[in-house]
Amino acid sequence: MTSLPQTTEKKLGLVIDLDICVGCQACVTSCKEWNTGGYSAPLSDIDPYGADPHGSWLNRVHGYEVGEGETGRTVHFPRSCLHCETPACVTVCPTGASYKRAEDGIVLVNPDMCIGCKLCSWACPYGAREYDENHGVMKKCTLCVDRIYNTHLAAEDRVPACVRACPTGARHFGDIGDPDSAVSKLVAERGGYDLMPEMGYKPVNKYLPPRARRDSTTSTFQPAVEAPDHSGGGDLASSFFAWADKMLSR
Amino acid sequence: MHPAYSVIFFTTASGAGYGLLVWLAMASALGGFPPDWALGFIGLGLALALITAGLLSSTAHLGRPERAWRAFSQWRSSWLSREGVLAVATYIPAAILGISWVFYETTQGAVVFASVLVSVLALATVYATGMIYASLPTIRAWNQPLTVPVYMTLAMATGGVLFVFVLSLFTQLPTWAIVLPLAAVIAAYVTKRFYWQAVDESPRPLRPENATGLGHLGKVRHLEPPHAQANFVMREMGFKVARKHADKLRRLSAYLMFLVPTVCLLLLLMVSSYTAPLFALVAVIAMGGGVVIERWLFFAEAEHVSMLFYGAAAA
């Protein structure tokens, strides 16, 4: 059904920390693997060893250079479906294959109903939906709906594959609609933001901005112990100890 | 946006077909000409053939065309679904009109209800087709107030030129049958010119800084793409024709869609009924070529906001 639910009980989504992401692509690969071995037809991998390898992926990590010159920095930017509250990708779907779950707000594609008309991908401002050439349907991040409720998995594995795989802890999963959840507190503390809020889709996923630079110009480092004073005292013992201290400090 | 030829053929052919349907239905209902069964057969047959060929072509664009029947279900929210429902609904009064005209040579009286209904549904279908594009907030060139008027006026113009051709095969063209389609061609031209102007002047306020939300840190430059080859999103949304080519193609399509048919229609006011079909046919061919180029440009000149993530400068 492609009319949107009025409200959802939860707003499950991801919080991506752009300060910590190192662009290792582990989340990209684990997502690809989980969605290739799981519930539906494998994500396509066409001409993988040839001249034009291509296929559908649900999560992609860009690298941006932000700022210029000395103040420039590299920001690695994972991009996947933001599970928006009012996504046009759901309402434009002619078959009802694209839908938003009322119980947790996850936006999904039913691969048995999708006709692959691609209109939902045109409606998505974030490029989150890809057409799978082999399967003939549209694919997108499922928020690992087949993991998060899956009691066959150990409790710590009942998070999206990308969150589990991230080696630096740059990805967080939770109910962003619950102000007391860990992710909501993280968003409030770090000033998490929506991508392109002017589009009006009300994305649920939040991005945490890179923290302010820390380098020699902004350093507030104070030594914990005062350096020993080698300048004074003609006393032989203190001269000897000053010399010993200097040799041992090398 | 990547111009899919199946979609270009679909919107142009079925647009012309629906337009022709409206001209035939309304002109016959108003008693514009004797209800010759052959005229009905050729005219309505051509209109329905164009519509059907267009609709079948649109299914070629699908990944799973065997499930296309599912596309009728979401008319509550989806313009694409509404278009499908209206397109199929149009066949019913079209069939009634066709049977009445071809088998009973009757186009007046009770069948006028069918003529009016088929005209309304045909125009509603073209309206829905235009709304599919106009309702997408992600594509500035489509999300314009004039997108739908362009679709509708071009359907009436292409259909009008076809109407002139079909009528010229059966009877001497009355003046109204030349002047009214000419007015439709001019109306389509004016609408399209205003549309191009609106698109060229509409501001493109979004930048990669908006897309990534990192503008507060400085200028954002796409350093490392997520993949070495293009992906579906880049191929579908990233196709963009160069400005200099687009300008030339706009001019060419305007000559073919408006200048040539206008000249032909004006000449039809002067030529004999033996040569009229030839002039009308030239108008049809030119119009057809022009509208295909126009539709190709409609896709090729459109920019999608998702390309901001892939290094586009603005959207």
Whether A238 shows a pLDDT value over 60: the answer reads: yes
Distance from CA of A161 to the nearest CA of B (A): 19
Whether B271 shows a pLDDT value over 90: the answer reads: no
pLDDT at A2: 66
User: Using the 8-state DSSP alphabet, how is residue B263 labeled?
Assistant: H
In a domain, A136, yes or no: yes
In a domain, A1, yes or no: no
pLDDT in tens, A38-52: 777 899 999 999 998
In a domain, A165, yes or no: yes
Q: What is the extent of the structural domain holding A48?
A: 12-208
Q: Number of folded domains in chain A?
A: 1
Give the DSSP H/E element, type plus range, for residue B143. Answer: none
In a domain, A222, yes or no: no
Q: Which tokens sit at B17?
A: 């077909």
pLDDT at A216: 72
pLDDT in tens, B48-74: 999 999 999 999 889 999 999 999 999
- Best to test chain B binding among A77, A81, A89, A201 (most B CBs inside 10 Å): A77
- Percentage of chain A beyond pLDDT 90 is 76
Distance from CA of A75 to the nearest CA of B (A): 9
Give per-residue burial for A22-61: e unless 16+ CB within 10 Å, then b. Answer: ebebbbbebbbebbeeeebebbbeeeeeeeeebbbbbbbb
pLDDT at A240: 87
pLDDT in tens, B129-171: 999 999 999 999 999 999 999 999 999 999 999 999 999 999 9
Fold of B5-310: Formate dehydrogenase/DMSO reductase fold (1.20.1630)
Q: pLDDT tier at B257 (50, 70, 90 boundaries)?
A: very high
- What Å distances lie between residue A108 and A34, A81, A198, B49, B259, CA to CA? 16, 10, 23, 38, 49
Q: Which residues of A touch B233 (CB under 8 A)?
A: 121, 127, 129-130
Average pLDDT value for chain B: 95
pLDDT in tens, A198-232: 999 999 999 999 998 877 777 777 777 766 665 55
- List B residues 33-62 in contact with A (Cβ-Cβ < 8 A): 61-62
In a domain, A163, yes or no: yes
Whether A94 shows a pLDDT value over 90: the answer reads: yes
In a domain, A191, yes or no: yes
- Cross-chain Cβ contact A65/B229 below 8 Å: no
d(CA B244, CA A209): 39
Q: Where are the domains of chain B?
A: 5-310
Q: What is the ipTM of this complex?
A: 0.93
What CATH number is associated with residue A55? 3.30.70.20
Q: Which tokens sit at B230?
A: 């293009």
pLDDT at A250: 78
Local structure of A63: helix, strand or coil: strand
d(CA A13, CA B102): 61
Nearest CB neighbour to B62, from listed A1, A117, A126: A117
In a domain, A26, yes or no: yes
d(CA B284, CA B160): 9
In a domain, A248, yes or no: no
